[in-house]
A and B are shown apart, each in its own frame.
Chain A
């Protein structure tokens, strides 16, 4: 890409150029009092409409998206984002609704909200969902507030601890902390990363408010002792929180509610195919058991007769956690996905995602180190190359994969292993795509043995090559103006 195309939009600005039209207004000019005026004018770009289109088209070329190539990013469930979802959610009868329109004029969108709530309940075995949380981490925060509100409502104020396994997503302990809990970490079994029951028993006491679990866990193993875990935690008076990041391989197979989870969040942008958008907008609905329903955040959507209604804050609700009803535009896409797949497809999604993961795992385990050599669910973890005498790191392998137009797996997470590579292929990928990935992985392993420098200097074909990340942190330049001042 030429230097010109690589510039910032600010660097393309020419004084006097315009990219917009507005209707001529017949209303006279009113002048704001000088006292309230800013001193200068914000320096925004001055470009033509075509400049904008060409600029952002070129900017887009510097991204790898799932429609371009394989994206086996573990824990992120990079599914195909069906186009029909985008088409139906873009209808102007959705996009032009003001959030405070009277309920009689927004029955369609409330119907979608309500029916999605019901479908998520069916799929997960929980009683009721709020679709207000904006993201998975937001769902965790909300779920933990519900746990706190539940114990407080019973006058049980000593429950200050949340148990989190050491294999958990980084957001879990952070969410517990911002909800005012103390985090107690439990070690996982070395054999498969599942919860160590004796360890769990050790930390369970009457100060435990609950436990946060991902099932299957972050190395793709189903918590086979989940019923035992749930019994132990409940007996100690705690609640079970389900981090739904890994729900995909359980669709139609087993439900968190039946396992004994009291609260879940589901990532619509993972399991239900809504686009990740480069980091949002997502949606992280939170579901609870019947007993916990009154604690759900406000506002609440419900159906009375044939009418869908919006209720304000109930007496025991944790309160409001979003200005309006969440990322409804995202919910509409997930609703379309659920209807397209229907009940017939849920189990197949789980099965095919699990088949794909196990196929890749077993096809590569002779060359890559497989720390847990068991049947996995939708994802699994390698711990670098099997031949440990080879001097390359997971980072080098990941960077070299970029030259094959493959987005590398998640690296260095979970923290259980030193050279973690977490692979999640999703059910949408064909055997032929997986075979191409397997070939690339084998080729990279061969290069690593023959000439590790190839990997250490990779990538070669990407829009930029390896970055000096330390420089960015040492001397933060965080806006265009900082570049001008150099």
Chain B
């Protein structure tokens, strides 16, 4: 017997008697013998002490660095109560809320999450969350193509290239054309979009702040896209929506993005959480789960998954998305983050990030090794041109325990010398000054 397997010999004997067979092996009789000859070569069972020791060793092979990099993953502060609360078994070990009478906990926090996402984005309705920001963007692309029944979607060159890659992968196999709209001075080239936009275009995807950290100006986008009946899709860092114009104010039809920046730990890239929100008009076209309010037979307020006629388990091969879960526990994470930080705290954390990023930006520009890449506004992430060898720079920073900026050459070799720094409220003045000093000495 084993700690996870409770059966005693007596239990097994009694159970076999009820079933009416002599041995457990009899329960596998229909499996062809030639298939049953498998030997599995994996490590031997570890006791708890051995497992802890092993993990100590493996964890020791990692060396966490203090990041001055973002690129889709931001090092914001996580209040201590979040892991404490999200690890409650009632949340962590529950399944999807298919029996609403005993899932009001999950359903209520999803409803609160949707409410908060709508507050940030200004949109009418949010779904219960998606895998990550990149797949949420791809799902928005599917949604636009489905709504407009067209097979061509534009995407700005200033969208994070990894997000573009995911969108392209999804699109290719579905037979949808993705057309990249050029960039100009670190922002989407509006004229190029107008040139590429036609009556066969289902939508246009932009990102704000974009891959360089630039806050783009979307003046005229909504109207221009409407003329061709193309949907306006915006991937927006939700944390910066404490300050920035909302997707709704930009006239966006589908807002998506990566909500990791709302208190979710970096965790080497996952689990994170994508969000998606849309207008009242498109509500019934949105993929994923949606939680709504209703009443029980006693007239008590209750929450339930709703508008399920859209979903894969009902529409099967006619579904426009195969999504059948959300990142529920991560939605709870984000919800508790926004509740704890609250109206003032989410704003304050972002304002400090904004201040610190601008301080670092201004100080680096005083060094001869750096100059402006674009003359554009930014939030907590910014791009500079450097004469330094990027590899050498990041090695020097690593020796001090820092993860240096993102080299844009990672995505495009023509962008050698463009580096993108990210600064959050967690980066102290001392850390920034040390970074400046280190780079100044190179």
Q: Do A and B bind each other?
A: yes
> Per-residue 0/1 for A381-421: is the Cβ within 8 Å of any B Cβ (1 yes, 0 no)?
00000000000000000110010000110100100000000
| Residues A123 and B42 in contact in the complex (CB < 8 Å), given A25-B352, A170-B313, A170-B314 | yes
A259 in the interface (beta carbon within 8 A): yes
Q: Which of B52, B54, B62, B379 has the most chain A CB atoms closer than 10 A to its own CB? A: B62
Which residue of B43, B95, B291 is within 8 Å of A478 (Cβ)?
B291
Q: Across the interface, do A44 and B119 meet the contact criterion of CB distance under 8 Å?
A: yes
Q: Across the interface, do B269 and A324 meet the contact criterion of CB distance under 8 Å?
A: yes
| Pairs A-B, 10 closest by C-beta atoms | A324-B269, A342-B45, A277-B329, A99-B269, A108-B61, A63-B105, A319-B169, A281-B271, A170-B313, A174-B312
A288 in the interface (beta carbon within 8 A): no
B residues in contact with A276, CB < 8 Å: 93-96
Q: Across the interface, do A27 and B316 meet the contact criterion of CB distance under 8 Å?
A: no
Which residue of A62, A80, A467 is within 8 Å of B4 (Cβ)?
A80
Which residue on A lies nearest to B273, using beta carbons? A281
A179 in the interface (beta carbon within 8 A): yes
B residues in contact with A28, CB < 8 Å: 355, 359
Q: Report Cα–Cα, A432/B265, bound state, in Å.
A: 41
A304 in the interface (beta carbon within 8 A): no
A305 in the interface (beta carbon within 8 A): no
Q: Across the interface, do A278 and B6 meet the contact criterion of CB distance under 8 Å?
A: no
Task: Pull 19 A–B residue pairs with CB atoms less than 8 Å apart, ordered by A.
Answer: A8-B111, A10-B112, A22-B345, A27-B356, A36-B215, A46-B342, A60-B91, A61-B90, A63-B106, A100-B403, A108-B60, A171-B322, A178-B174, A320-B169, A323-B132, A355-B24, A431-B14, A462-B102, A469-B294
Which B residues from 181 to 209 make CB contacts under 8 A with A?
Answer: none
Which residue of B94, B300, B322 is within 8 Å of A175 (Cβ)?
B322
Q: Report Cα–Cα, A64/B38, bound state, in Å.
A: 38
Which A residues from 1 to 38 make CB contacts under 8 A with B?
Answer: 6, 8-10, 13, 17-20, 22-23, 25-30, 32-33, 35-38
Which residue of A45, A109, A359 is within 8 Å of B342 (Cβ)?
A45
A residues in contact with B67, CB < 8 Å: 98
Q: Report Cα–Cα, A174/B319, bound state, in Å.
A: 6
Which residue on B lies nearest to A256, using beta carbons? B35
Which residue on B lies nearest to A132, using beta carbons? B270
| Residues A179 and B169 in contact in the complex (CB < 8 Å), given A44-B119, A67-B89, A323-B269 | no
Q: Across the interface, do A280 and B319 meet the contact criterion of CB distance under 8 Å?
A: no
Min Cβ gap B71→A in Å is: 6
Q: Across the interface, do A319 and B316 meet the contact criterion of CB distance under 8 Å?
A: no
Q: Across the interface, do A463 and B319 meet the contact criterion of CB distance under 8 Å?
A: no
B135 in the interface (beta carbon within 8 A): yes
Binds A, one of B73-81, B220-228, B367-375, B434-442: B73-81
Min Cβ gap B158→A in Å is: 16
Q: Across the interface, do A348 and B109 meet the contact criterion of CB distance under 8 Å?
A: no
> Per-residue 0/1 for B402-426: is the Cβ within 8 Å of any A Cβ (1 yes, 0 no)?
0100100010000000000000010
| Residues A259 and B35 in contact in the complex (CB < 8 Å), given A140-B322, A467-B302 | yes
Interface size class of A (residues with CB under 8 A): 35 or more
Which residue on B lies nearest to A147, using beta carbons? B173
Q: Report Cα–Cα, A482/B272, bound state, in Å.
A: 28
B residues in contact with A291, CB < 8 Å: none
| Residues A37 and B332 in contact in the complex (CB < 8 Å), given A98-B67, A135-B131 | no
B177 in the interface (beta carbon within 8 A): no
B residues in contact with A436, CB < 8 Å: none
Q: Across the interface, do B340 and A468 meet the contact criterion of CB distance under 8 Å?
A: no
Known: A97-B64, A345-B5, A464-B104. 6 other contacts (CB 8 A): A19-B340, A37-B243, A88-B55, A224-B31, A467-B296, A479-B126
Which residue of A88, A144, A179, A348 is within 8 Å of B51 (Cβ)?
A88
A358 in the interface (beta carbon within 8 A): yes
Q: Report Cα–Cα, A97/B67, bound state, in Å.
A: 9
Min Cβ gap B125→A in Å is: 5
Min Cβ gap A249→B in Å is: 8
